[in-house]
Amino acid sequence: MAWRSLDEAKLAGARALVRVDFNVPMSEGRVADDTRLLAALPTIRRLRGAGAKVALLAHFERPKGKRVPELSLRPVAARLAELLGAPVAFVDDCVGEPVRAAFEAAKPGDVLLLENVRFHGGEEANDAAFARELAANSDLYVNDAFSAAHRAHASTEAVAHLVPSYCGEAMARELKALEAALGKPDRPVLGIVGGSKVSTKLDLLDNLVTKLDMLAIGGGMANTFLFADGVDVGGSLCEKEMADTARQIHAKAAKSNCELLLPLDVVVAQEVKPGATSNLRDLGEIGADEKILDAGPRTVERLVAAMDRAKTLIWNGPLGVFEVPPFDAATNAAARHAAELARANKLIAVAGGGDTVAALNHAGVAGDLTFVSTAGGAFLEWMEGKTLPGVAALQH
């Protein structure tokens, strides 16, 4: 796939409308986590350096088309200015005269932060008239919010068709990583999918077994696959009603020559709490009152061997209840091995999804993988093989 990059844009003197994701955690009126602000800096700096006037467009929470003062983006401007090392002027709306006047007063290289785009009902409705209002005050549009690209909203999709539109630096980095993992990957490709329920990741599993060479299934969803294979999982989390679906996915994997890696041994306990008494069990030895809470060492050993064979890894979801030690052992061991291979340039390792990022941070290796996506829903939909409206709108 080819996306229009900023290399193709005429930036000097242009009014650039830039869609960013500033839906950040706030605490007492201040930004509590500035990860998403930091992600936008390369695009902002590039545009400023080329002499563009930059207007940042973002949503915050769910005001449902109404002006809700406590959901204003105004507090974000101060923190962004600190990170950027330059003033950021706040504009009290994202369309109309306030934006026109702010651009008029701005000099090349100036940065504006526009008010919450979701204060307008036309945003989530992907309304054409509202998109025209957004486009009216700009010469070009840049989408740098991959995390919002799975939504067909006016600021992510409709506006991209009205003015010359380009991919921002963070968006380009994300797309390049995902293309390397699933588009045209170096083979063999290994996938790791964890999490609690098969039912929430059906589309994902269904797509991946046709794209991967090996797929390791962990977390609670592995219990459903084991149950479908006739293993007694005791008191473990298990969607027994999904057993037929698990068998169908298993059959589809076999037909697609995708090796399915299910747990060989498991760590069990009677309750989920830190330092709980745990035991290692082979399959077939799980007691009626025992819960499977992590993968065992033989399972990890086989997964590590699969990583050693693989050229590409794509990871979504932990292998156990990593938030509660000692049930973080398998996820930690797998994450650290993936990081070691990635650091040695022996593996392209791409991971994403909220729990996955938390698990990699917990293991202390999030910075060592080839790419870690914080995009959540958009990352998952990409892995499911779905077209993302915000990305499609930027294609040649």
Any idea which of 79-83, 293-297, 349-353 has the lowest mean pLDDT?
Answer: 349-353
Per-residue pLDDT, averaged over 106-132, amounts to: 98
Structure tokens given for 373: 């996506």
Quick: pLDDT tens for 32-60. Answer: 989 899 999 999 999 999 999 999 999 99
Give the per-residue pLDDT at 396.
Answer: 63
| Packing angle of the helix pair 243-255, 219-228 (nearest 10 deg) | 90
Quick: pLDDT tens for 155-182. Answer: 999 999 999 999 999 999 999 998 888 8
Is pLDDT above 90 for 347? yes
What dihedral do alpha carbons 305, 308, 314, 316 form, nearest 10°? 30
Query: Beta-carbon neighbour count of residue 361 at 10 Å?
Result: 13
Domains of the chain with CATH codes: 6-172 (3.40.50.1260), 185-383 (3.40.50.1260)
Out of 109, 235, 354, 376, the active site residue is 354
Out of 36, 201, 211, 291, the active site residue is 36
pTM: 0.89
Is pLDDT above 70 for 299? yes
- Is 183 catalytic? The answer is no
Alpha helices in the chain (DSSP H): 35-49, 74-84, 97-105, 121-124, 128-136, 169-178, 202-208, 219-228, 243-255, 297-309, 329-343, 354-363, 377-383, 389-392
Q: Which residues pair with 268 in a beta bridge?
A: 279, 292
- Is 377 catalytic? The answer is yes
Band of residue 354 on the pLDDT scale cut at 50, 70, 90: confident
Out of 65, 121, 377, 385, the active site residue is 377
Out of 132, 173, 197, 302, the active site residue is 197
Quick: pLDDT tens for 3-24. Answer: 899 999 999 999 999 999 999 9
Give the per-residue pLDDT at 275.
Answer: 86
- Is 85 catalytic? The answer is no
Band of residue 304 on the pLDDT scale cut at 50, 70, 90: very high
Measure the CA–CA gap between 227 and 242, rounded to whole angstroms: 10
Measure the CA–CA gap between 25 and 132, rounded to whole angstroms: 30
Band of residue 341 on the pLDDT scale cut at 50, 70, 90: very high
Report CA 386 to chain centroid distance, whole Å.
14
Band of residue 294 on the pLDDT scale cut at 50, 70, 90: very high
